[in-house]
Amino acid sequence: MDVDALFDAWDRAWSGRDARAFESLCDPDVHYEDPLTEDPLVGTDALGRHARGLWEAFPDARVNSTGARVADGAFACAPCRVLGTHEGRLGRIAPTHRELSVHAIVYAELRDERLLRVRAFFDVYGAGMQLGALPKHGTAGERALLLLRGFGLRG
């Protein structure tokens, strides 16, 4: 199996804004998770709907490879960077018109040269800071947020 070709096509699918592109890359019963999904998404239709929502929030979104892909039997991993400008609503966050650049790791189980289970990992807090939705580390805003969450209180 050419894991580089598979992940290159995965990156192109996320960058190309065609939800049907996932159909040729993924098992029809693909399970997909990332920090923005509440529960695993099942099937290429659910993955496509998720992708369309992200494309609405980041119309210029693109995914670029950032290093060597690693594969061992039925499992593979690919580092990448997700880039885009926040121009549409993302959950409860109104458009900030700020640029976003986050490193991610995509870990996948493969079956019949397709993606069966996919998990993307990235720093949600860091993304929130870039969008101005969360306070930067070390600031009074961060300390206030931690205090509200119950951290830093002494009994």
> What is the domain partition of the chain in residue ranges?
3-122
Q: What is the pTM of this model?
A: 0.87
CATH architecture, domain defined by 3-122? Roll (3.10)
Q: Are 57 and 87 spatial neighbours (Cβ–Cβ below 8 Å)?
A: yes
Exposure class string for 34-73: b at 16+ Cβ within 10 A, else e: beeeeeebebbebbbebbeebbebbeebbbeeeeebebee
pLDDT in tens, 66-104: 999 999 999 999 999 999 999 999 988 999 999 999 999
pLDDT in tens, 29-73: 999 999 999 999 999 999 999 999 999 999 999 999 999 999 999
